[in-house]
Amino acid sequence: MSDPRIALVAEGDTDYVLIHAALKAILQRPFLLDQLQPEPNKPKLGSGWGGVFKWCQEFRQRGATSIEADPTLSDYDLVIVHIDADVADKSYEDCGQAVVEAAANLHALPCSLPCPPPSSTVAAMEAVLLSWLGIPATGAKSMFCIPSKATEAWLSAAVLPSDHALLQGLECNLNVEGRLAVLPKNLRVRKSVRVYKDLAEVVTSRWGDVKQLCTQADLFDQRMQVVKAALP
């Protein structure tokens, strides 16, 4: 039995680290996770949500009716497209005129809705991603990963004490990353690939706690459980 091949389109390298840690907890078996975006060796599209938009634009221009129908992705058993829910508070203008023009007939940004519940804005971002990709829905071998408001919520749920104040309203906090960076030294987490890699095993081992505190982590887990049964 070969290891499943999973492709990840993500905002950044730290998101890759945290999603990889989550997948280790869910799959509990060897797998390969290829980072399609940002490209590790030739980041032509840039990083951040603008990079995800440009990747989706290239996909849409290829004219595939679904992610599964795109021949460039046919070697993968699963394709995950990640974007943080805080993008719902952004504007296409943030990424320059070329993105504004490319998004002229797509779902509008900003599109954030009152939080709680985080699910409302996440659903709005799912519609945005589908418009970026030009497809009606994800399929049997594709799914979205939309943490609220960012993957740092998952990290916080894993590494902070269960009674920490930052965990209150965690999925509706737009500045979890900034708050983590100014905590007392014994709890402080500054954003870097090295630091996140050092904490990845904590995310994996405490995934159950992450799911309890983060509804969108739990939703990602549920969707992965369905996919898991079909993986080779």
**Tens-binned pLDDT, residue by residue, of the chain (232 aa):** 689 999 999 999 999 999 999 999 999 999 999 999 998 766 677 889 999 999 999 999 999 999 999 999 999 999 999 999 999 999 999 999 999 999 999 999 999 999 999 999 999 999 999 999 999 999 999 999 999 999 999 999 999 999 999 999 999 999 999 999 999 999 999 999 999 999 999 999 999 999 999 999 999 999 999 999 999 8
Among residues 135, 140, 144, 136, the alpha carbon closest in space to that of 8 is found at 144
Residue 93 and residue 101: Cα distance in Å, rounded?
Answer: 10
Q: For the chain, what is the domain count?
A: 1
- pTM confidence score: 0.96
**Does any domain span residue 186?**
yes
Looking up tokens 């998101």 gives 15
Structural domain including 122 reads 5-225
**Does any domain span residue 219?**
yes
**Does any domain span residue 174?**
yes
Check if the beta carbon of residue 148 is closer than 8 Å to that of residue 220.
no
**Does any domain span residue 192?**
yes
**Does any domain span residue 11?**
yes
**Does any domain span residue 230?**
no
Burial 52-88 (b: 16+ CB within 10 A, else e): bbbbbbebbeeebebbbebeebeebbbbbbbbbbbbb
**Does any domain span residue 16?**
yes
**Does any domain span residue 33?**
yes
Check if the beta carbon of residue 206 is closer than 8 Å to that of residue 162.
no
